[in-house]
Structure 1
Amino acid sequence: MKKNVVIMYGSILTFLIAIGFFVYTLDASKALSYLSSDPRACVNCHTMNSAYATWSRSSHKDVATCVDCHLPVGDAVKKYAAKAKDGWNHSVAMTLKSYGNNLTISEDGANRVQENCIRCHSNLTSVMAVNAIRGHSNSNKSLKNERKCWECHKYTPHGKVRSLTSTPYNLGVKEKIK
């Protein structure tokens, strides 16, 4: 009987310790902030400082957040599935330090950004489709498929610098937004 009580209390203690570590990890990683649309959540990870710094000085700052451009809009299931996929990929890259000084967007992420560019700028893209012969397209690339908006508008909204180590206004980003 005594042995069963010890096992029971040991199991409860182990469970409580596991819960404590889980809660600590959630708090330390600010995991719940990633469920929001707040751009400050993106700088929880230090490699996003340059993206935040350049966005915060762009024309998009007052009209679009990171989520508005980088995640599907209008379908909550697709949005949170993309957040989960990106979050996993980001956490693996951060843990394994498998990223370089220049961050690159995945093909899936690029397609999402392209769809959101077209969605937000539909008044312009519809005119571009009609006037494709005048330079916003060529004979073998279409607006929705191969040609990306940033082929011409590459400095929008993250500016000219793409390096994690040389972005203007990058230092002190986390301190400014707290």
Structure 2
Amino acid sequence: MLRRRSHSKVGSTAPSHEELLRLVEAAGTVADHSSLRPWRLIELRGDARDVLGAALAEAEGASAGGREKIIAKVRRAPLLIAIVAVYRPSGKVPHWEQEAVASGVAHALSLLLDEAGWGVLWRTGSQTRHDAVREAHRLKKNEQLLGWLYVGDVPGGGSGSDASKPLRRKLVDPADHLSSL
């Protein structure tokens, strides 16, 4: 985890659906109060990315030229994985905690993908709340899009956690974030 980094640019190869299933199975072991499994993931490959790009363009009110730029940005990765919080009825587990589980699955999956040698970047933004983007993902009323993992091979070879490359982000001072009562 100390070597993990986000990759804003990835190559044209992505893990197969079968490889992704194994990683999702492992990511699904995150702490989950009442075992509600309040999450789901959506694979976007090929032309499905254009559907997302068009919805993002609509969300941003983009012109025709702007629309093409947005679609091109979405196509920068061969695989996008939409992270969806699925709010389940519960008297014990509030929505914020269910969303935390979905976020935990996404983070665990990003670590697993990195460990497997894939480049990963988690993108979010206000567009996740726009009706056009919700419709493109066919979200139900009890679902909320949290963002997308952009996944592809690491340019120049190596893995996402290649120890030979310097860290781009300074490590935290743990004493600044850990206290006692």
TM-score between both structures, scaled by the size of structure 1: 0.26
More helix by share: 1
Query: Which has more radius of gyration?
Result: 1
